[in-house]
Homo-oligomer: A and B are copies of this chain.
Amino acid sequence: MKYTEGGVCAAKGFSANGVHCGIRRNHEKKDLSLIVSEVPCQAAAVYTTNRVKGAPILVDMEHLSNGIAQAVICNSGIANTCNADGVEKARAMAEICSRVTGIQASDIVVASTGVIGQPLPLEPIAGHMEELFGGLSHSAEGCLKAEEGIMTTDTRPKMTAVSFEIQGKTCHLGGIAKGSGMIHPNMATMLVFLTTDVAISHTLLHKALQMDVRSTFNMTSVDGDTSTNDTCCILANGLAGNAEITDENEDFAIFMQALNSVTVDLCRKIAGDGEGATKLLECCVTGAKNEEDARVLAKAVICSSLVKAAMFGADANWGRVLCALGYAGTELDVDKVEVAFRSEKGTIRVCENGSGIAFSEETAKEILLEKEIEILVDCHDGEGSAKAWGCDLTYDYVKINGDYRT
């Protein structure tokens, strides 16, 4: 298993592109992306649990009901959510894409991200579909363009891929993701498109995705707001040539590991580039009663505004970590809890048996001034462990969100 270039274009038979079509006023910013497989793929997706769902999600649920897809079309700028004609527009978007690519509309995954409640104009999409399709590329550059087309307030592209072997065949799995606000764990999250050339049954592909998001995207939070348009979708075209994975055997385990390597990397990229973020935070809970408790505790710490603001200030205010653990909603023996902070500069223990211990504020500051901070919580009360990813809360988060629409 090794990281490689190419993102969604790493897997055989996938190409991608992104263009500026005019949904956004800024001509410098791409706003329409396309990912295509040479052949039809097994496809699976998980979606937001928000009861307000973007129209594209309603259409994707129909399109993916047979487990087959061959392309993804996605615009940024407008979410196509809370519009009376949203579903009609999402269907039309797939049809426009179908006419140009020759792929059946029902085999196209549709996604939108951006402002909620503004009508989606179809003309820019129709007017640029030929250009978008014509420019499809199998290169890493094609993937980068597609990524740029789905980015909103993201400051950095988020793409990753791994190569690995199954039955002696070289396989690939890669993905792109869009952050960076309205990010909060709940079944699926944000927009993530994954591609692989592994041959795998639809049932196992869907199972793998569902299992994986529980410990990856569902454990990532930027601001506690679960988006209306969250979609995480994977396409598997089978071109690697392995015998189709149809059992939960060793090959499936390798596939799960590859998937997890890609999704964890995307989670770290999403959290680290959260709106206004200056730091990636990773909370590692160990010694919890069970895994579910560990998840709940790790998420509570990552979601606490006060912990996030303290990390922005490089302030070792561990009392706020204890406070968040306390209101997380799980049983917790506070008197056993141990807390430490870790970064490239080292590790510092700040709390033992639920009480503060003497530590050097100077050393703590040095550790917390780094860009990647681990908050280590040991409950000393069992075997459950979990990780959650988030970011600090900064002036820029407020600035970005104080006037996002204008």
Instruction: Name A's B-contacting residues (CB within 8 A).
Output: 49-53, 79, 81-84, 115-119, 181-182, 184, 186, 223-228, 303-306, 309-310, 312-313, 315, 317-320, 322-327, 331-332, 334, 351, 353-356, 393-395, 397-406
Contacts and interface: CB of A to CB of B under 8 A. Distances in A.
A334 B353 CA distance: 47
A20 to B, nearest CB: 23
B326 A228 contact: yes
Contact of A398 (B118, B323, B394): B394
16 contacts: A50-B326, A79-B319, A81-B322, A82-B319, A82-B322, A116-B320, A116-B323, A117-B351, A117-B355, A224-B305, A226-B326, A227-B323, A228-B326, A309-B400, A393-B398, A395-B395
B52 A310 contact: no
Contact of A82 (B79, B315, B354): B354
A82 B181 contact: no
Contacts of A402: 309-310, 312-313, 315
Contacts of A181: 306
Nearest to A225: B306
Copies per assembly: 2
A184 B356 CA distance: 24
Contacts of A332: 51-52
Contacts of A79: 319
Contact of A327 (B50, B115, B334): B50
A403 B313 contact: yes
Contacts of A355: 82-84, 117
A117 B318 contact: yes
Contact of A305 (B82, B305, B325, B354): B305
Nearest to A85: B355
Given A355-B84, A394-B398, A404 B315 contact: yes
A315 B403 contact: yes
B52 A116 contact: no
Nearest to A394: B398
B354 A310 contact: no
A394 B225 CA distance: 17
Residue with the greatest number of chain B CB neighbours at <10 A, chosen from A83, A84, A184: A84
Contacts of A118: 356
Nearest to A186: B327
A369 to B, nearest CB: 12
